[in-house]
Amino acid sequence: MNTSPNLAGKAALVTGASRGIGAAIARRLAADGAAVAITYSSSPEKAAEVVKEIEAAGGRAIAIQADASDAGAVRAAVGKAAADLGRLDILVNNAGVAIMAPLPELSEADFERTFAINVKALFVASQEAAKHLPEGGRIIHIGSVNSDSAPFPGLTAYSMSKAAVAGMTRAMARDLGPRGITVNNIQPGPVDTDMNPASGPFADTLRGLMALGRYGRADEVAGLVSFLAGSDGGYVTGANLKIDGGFDV
């Protein structure tokens, strides 16, 4: 029986992983045996805490400062992760922003920032990672159920950006498939984090839209990332996978 961790000997980069879903993903990949680099924008203390947790559990982790709205910083972070870890096998594009406003109030600056972080950063990171990923490499985007569902007003820019991620996933999978690299998109519904707490002002409304009637947990999303990153997920590519508790079914 093979008792070694599923990702032993692998190296992963998780963007926007100083808290919430990203931090849970980083911890899970490290627990699975991968060396992990995380990026953060403005929370060095929180990023350091994630690194410390992983190291305390016997894993290897580093933190890299990179503003997801700065394409040059994103590209440099991918290169640094590959250099410092000695390789790069897995990229998880988790960094994102949710700017919500009714269409008449949505500024061009808000629109541009949404796409810089939610779309362009994913493109740039994936393009740079493709220089390093070996056969069997993985690119995993963290999108949103709102790519094809807008159950309340104010989601124009956000939903559009996440729909772009879904389309990009299919096209990237086609481009990188001949190299044995998979590309998939995980689309969470409401997940209990500090940005969208299960006790928040909209929580009851959101719970009413879900078949399971509860918020998801960050570790549940991390579990799906783990599956796609490991050997069992090797025949899944170009997929947009909802993990949403039956959101608006």
Asked if 158 is an active-site residue, the reply is yes
Tens of pLDDT, residue by residue over 29-47, are 999 999 999 999 999 999 9
In percent, the amount of the chain with pLDDT more than 90 equals 91
Helix axis angle for 44-56 and 20-31, nearest 10°, is: 20
Cβ(243)–Cβ(186) below 8 Å = yes
Is residue 8 scored above 80 in pLDDT? yes
**In this predicted structure, what is the pLDDT of residue 238?**
98
Burial class of residue 235 in the structure, from the number of CB atoms within 10 Å of its CB (0-12 exposed, 13-18 middle, 19+ buried)? exposed
Tens of pLDDT, residue by residue over 69-127, are 999 999 999 999 999 999 999 999 999 999 999 999 999 999 999 999 999 999 999 99
Catalytic residue among 40, 158, 215, 235: 158
11-243 domain in CATH 2.30.110.10? no
Question: Between 1 and 61, whose confidence is greater?
Answer: 61
**Where are the strands (E) in the chain, listed by range?**
11-14, 35-40, 61-65, 90-93, 138-142, 182-188, 240-243
**In this predicted structure, what is the pLDDT of residue 4?**
63
